[in-house]
Structure 1
Amino acid sequence: MGRRIMEWAARSDYMGGIPRKMVITAVGGLAKAVVSLLNSTTVHNADTLLRLVRSRPNGVPLVTVSNHMSTMDDPFLWGFKGFPSTDANLARWVLAAEDICFKNSVFSYFFRLGKCIPITRGGGIYQEHMNEALERLSEGSWLHTFPEGKVYQEDAPIRRLKWGAASLIARAPVTPIVLPIVHTGFEQVMPEKFYRGKRPPFPLWNKRIKIIVGEPMELDLPEMRRMATSLSRNTSHSTLGWPSTCPGGLDEAAQKHLYSAISEKIQNVMERLRMFAKSFSKSEDQNLCKHK
């Protein structure tokens, strides 16, 4: 088993949970200030997200997936009015880039307290911290992921998704509820190239943020596994040394078909949400012009 970065600081019982509560309360308060006070935020279908965060069936994990418009999408995404962003018990776990959030011991400690799981980009879907993410799902926790794998600030279709989120969905002991989310506006609150090609030192204000929450996705995983197994018999794959996965004990070729199929379904739904967000924005702009 590989080394897990400061896993002890991520435990809920570490120092009675007080450091975690302090960090999440502070960060959640900042998100509230930026998203609910300093900027204009519209959320579509917020009730679905709130219901699944607060009262989904006991033991059933939640996986939320979203596009990635800025380095501050998380925690800002959870700062909208009515969301329990300062509640440490309800807060999400999130996959976070090791090279950004865990580049020194101070950062590592802070982000671990904030329920972040370090992921090495390019490290593959079977790296050690993915096992940690699976453990959180097996406990029925909420995990947020950015399956595009990096920040994209231009207005463009959803990119081909990395397979990490799909592999977690497929390998979780209890099949998670999968909820897609698409947002716009955070690229203006925290632009990548604000001054001399750098981000601003603090979030900008007076921007328009839109968060579109989709509906829980229906993934027939038994049927998708069967299809992946069938397709894998007719194709050849280079091997990466992946282990057989449970449930199903799929070989590597079948896993690739399965993760690709899950990712493609999620990507298609996210793209539909993105297009809805664009039409939603246009209708809002038209209504604004009528009232001027």
Structure 2
Amino acid sequence: MEWAAKGSHLGGVPRRMVIKVVGTFAKLVANVMNTTKVYNAHTLLHLVKSRPSGVPLITVSNHMSTLDDPVMWAFRGFPITDARLARWALAAEDICFKNKMLSYFFRIGKCIPITRGGGIYQKHMDEALDRLSSGEWLHTFPEGKVCQEDAPIRRLKWGTASLIARAPVTPIVLPIIHHGFQKVMPEKYMFDRRPPIPLFNKEIQIVVGEPMKFDMPKLSNIALSMSRDISVSDAQWPTIQQHGLDEAAQRYLFSMISDQIRTAMEKLRSASTLLYQTKS
């Protein structure tokens, strides 16, 4: 259903309507039903509104509930109902694209279906790469699944790192950590199921980190040097043309990038957890 994801679909009217409605719902959850506090919001706002033309943005965050996106963008002052500025997001195919109606809804809502376990070179990763190539904003949950425990950031999937490495213009990467969504939409609320509606009177905390910039030529040279003697599986990955990286070098590169992002997210999580516990 790629046609529904195009901005020109029916003149863009369905997209504007969906993003307006979803954004309004998210604002209700974040600011009326609950309380949301955001730290370093100006960094996110600046990158969404005013980053250099043609430079893509990737935001990465922990994943605590099915409401994280869109509610994490619903704090006061953020243009969540602006379809032009809205993020693209990688979304689990088995959850968000179960049938034609859901597929259409999430497609016009700027979501890209990803098959979990489908690998970093699955079809729709190329679509995500196209969005980045156009200088757009993409949000990912690089841990790959919901975790409602207050636990260290898990090993990241390589999908985000592969997009950073393959993008013609290296994206700015912005880590974000949030707390409280596990209370607004707990996975096991009643009869081991989520509540039918978001819960009330909870505190959501969103902490925006500092932008990360990756020196891809330098990292690629390190990956090439360090991977010369590494054996890989028989399944061959396509070479990353702009960096000349074969499968072994790509594996090393994606691991380096993922480790750097995970380290930044974990530092942010450790600091924000103490702040959240103090204020809760």
TM range (shorter): over 0.9
Secondary structure of 1:266 counterpart: helix
8 Å CA contact 2:170–2:214 kept in 1: the answer is no
In structure 1, C-alpha distance between the alignment counterparts of 2:195 and 2:29, rounded to whole Å? 14
In structure 2, C-alpha distance between the alignment counterparts of 1:20 and 1:281, rounded to whole Å? 35
Structure 1 equivalent of residue 228 of structure 2: 233
In structure 2, C-alpha distance between the alignment counterparts of 1:192 and 1:279, rounded to whole Å? 23
8 Å CA contact 2:43–2:210 kept in 1: the answer is yes
1:207 and 2:205 are equivalent in the alignment: no
In structure 1, C-alpha distance between the alignment counterparts of 2:158 and 2:165, rounded to whole Å? 10
Gaps of 5+ in 1: 1-5, 286-292
Q: Percent identity?
A: 65
Greater mean deviation of Cα atoms: 227-236 or 91-100: 227-236
Please list the CA deviations of residues 199-224 of structure 1 after superposition, one character each: whole Å capped at 9, or x if unmatched.
Answer: 11111111111101001013222111
Gaps of 5+ in 2: none
Please give the residue correspondences for 1:254-265 in structure 2 after superposition, counting only pairs within 5 Å. Answer: 254-265=249-260
| CA-CA distance at 1:38 after TM superposition | 1.1
Please list the CA deviations of residues 128-148 of structure 1 after superposition, one character each: whole Å capped at 9, or x if unmatched.
Answer: 100000000011000000000
Structure 1 equivalent of residue 133 of structure 2: 138
In structure 2, C-alpha distance between the alignment counterparts of 1:198 and 1:245, rounded to whole Å? 43
In structure 2, C-alpha distance between the alignment counterparts of 1:60 and 1:150, rounded to whole Å? 28
In structure 2, C-alpha distance between the alignment counterparts of 1:27 and 1:199, rounded to whole Å? 19
Structure 1 equivalent of residue 5 of structure 2: 10
The letter for the 2-side match of 1:47 is H
In the TM superposition, structure 1's runs of 4+ consecutive aligned residues that sit over 3 Å from their partners are none
8 Å CA contact 1:149–1:162 kept in 2: the answer is yes
In structure 1, C-alpha distance between the alignment counterparts of 2:213 and 2:253, rounded to whole Å? 15
1:182 and 2:174 are equivalent in the alignment: no
The letter for the 1-side match of 2:51 is R
In structure 1, C-alpha distance between the alignment counterparts of 2:57 and 2:251, rounded to whole Å? 23
Please list the CA deviations of residues 239-281 of structure 1 after superposition, one character each: whole Å capped at 9, or x if unmatched.
Answer: 4321001311200000000000000000000000001111212
Secondary structure of 2:91 counterpart: strand
Aligned match for 1:64, one of 41, 59, 63? 59
8 Å CA contact 1:62–1:179 kept in 2: the answer is yes
Structure 1 equivalent of residue 216 of structure 2: 221
In structure 2, C-alpha distance between the alignment counterparts of 1:213 and 1:248, rounded to whole Å? 31
8 Å CA contact 2:179–2:276 kept in 1: the answer is no
1:106 and 2:95 are equivalent in the alignment: no
8 Å CA contact 1:239–1:252 kept in 2: the answer is no
Secondary structure of 2:204 counterpart: strand
Please give the residue correspondences for 1:18-97 in structure 2 after superposition, counting only pairs within 5 Å. Answer: 18-97=13-92
RMSD: 0.9
In structure 2, C-alpha distance between the alignment counterparts of 1:258 and 1:240, rounded to whole Å? 18
Structure 1 equivalent of residue 190 of structure 2: 195
**Alignment length (residue pairs):** 280
| CA-CA distance at 1:283 after TM superposition | 4.0
The letter for the 1-side match of 2:89 is V
TM-score by length of 2: 0.98
In structure 2, C-alpha distance between the alignment counterparts of 1:118 and 1:266, rounded to whole Å? 23
Secondary structure of 2:176 counterpart: strand
1:160 and 2:155 are equivalent in the alignment: yes
TM-score by length of 1: 0.94
